[in-house]
């Protein structure tokens, strides 16, 4: 059986910006995030990423630039003997009313279809409320990190986060998951 985990990208793996991450140069991994992914891979996990990338729909960067950012991530992980197994991304803006932009579930369903598995209890680590809403909607296990927009999410949605695990960052969340295994 596949041990799958789904990670948000901006604010979980790499630094986030209210001005969007628009180039490979702006794609800067958060401290410990790459090592955390490497530890997951060493423990036999399949790692998927689900990321809203409305900067494409807004015209801030194009799909080739997004691919270059993901190539940078792949190179950095390869240096640690690790990789992301699948990346699902949504290029749409909120006004497009697509089915893939989180908090809708299209990205997570695409990942489930890709791996041919049910997402029940699959850990989903995110920093925004919409990451967690989409995870809950597919029966996955939402986990919040305080990096990126996580602190704001915790302040704004404290009542709705009852029972959801909260960790300082991806490394701490992965440490917790690996202890459970």
pLDDT in 10s for each residue of the chain, 181 residues: 569 999 999 999 999 999 999 999 999 999 999 999 999 999 999 999 999 999 999 999 999 999 999 999 999 999 999 999 999 999 999 999 999 999 999 999 999 999 999 999 999 999 999 999 999 999 999 999 999 999 999 999 999 999 999 999 999 999 999 999 7
Query: What is the three-class DSSP state of 136?
Result: helix
- 55 is written with which tokens? 């900067």
- In Å, what is the CA distance from 90 to each residue of 53, 72, 162, 167? 5, 19, 28, 26
Predicted local distance difference test score (pLDDT) of residue 1? 56
Q: What domains can you pick out in the chain, each with its CATH number?
A: 12-180 (3.40.50.1000)
From CA 31, how far away is CA 136, in angstroms rounded?
Answer: 27
Predicted local distance difference test score (pLDDT) of residue 134? 97
Known catalytic residues are 8, 10
- Look over the chain and give the mean of its residue pLDDT values, rounded to a whole number: 96
pTM listed for this prediction: 0.97
For 146-171, the pLDDT digits (tens) are 999 999 999 999 999 999 999 999 99
Burial 44-59 (b: 16+ CB within 10 A, else e): ebbbbbbbbbbbbbee
Q: Contact 134/102 with Cβ under 8 angstroms?
A: yes
Report how many helices (DSSP H) and strands (DSSP E) the chain contains, helices first.
7, 6
Edge to edge, what strands does the sheet with 165-167 contain?
86-90, 45-52, 3-7, 123-126, 141-145, 165-167
Q: Contact 132/164 with Cβ under 8 angstroms?
A: yes
């Amino acid at each position: 059986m596949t041990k799958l985990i789904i990670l948000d990208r901006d604010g979980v793996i790499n630094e986030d910006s209210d001005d969007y991450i628009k180039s490979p140069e702006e794609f800067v991994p958060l401290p410990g995030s790459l090592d955390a992914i490497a530890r997951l891979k060493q423990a036999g996990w399949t790692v998927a990423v689900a990321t809203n990338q409305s900067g494409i729909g807004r015209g801030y960067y194009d799909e080739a630039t997004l691919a270059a950012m993901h190539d940078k991530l792949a190179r950095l992980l390869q240096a640690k003997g690790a990789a992301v197994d699948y990346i699902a991304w949504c290029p749409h803006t909120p006004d497009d009313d697509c089915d893939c932009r989180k908090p809708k579930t299209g990205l997570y369903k695409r990942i489930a279809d890709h791996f041919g598995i049910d997402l029940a209890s699959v850990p989903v680590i995110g920093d925004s409320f919409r990451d967690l809403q989409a995870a809950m909607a597919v029966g996955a296990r939402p986990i919040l990190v305080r990096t990126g927009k996580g602190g704001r999410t915790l302040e704004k949605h404290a009542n709705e986060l009852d029972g959801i695990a909260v960790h300082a960052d991806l490394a701490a969340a992965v440490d917790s998951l690996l202890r459970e295994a």
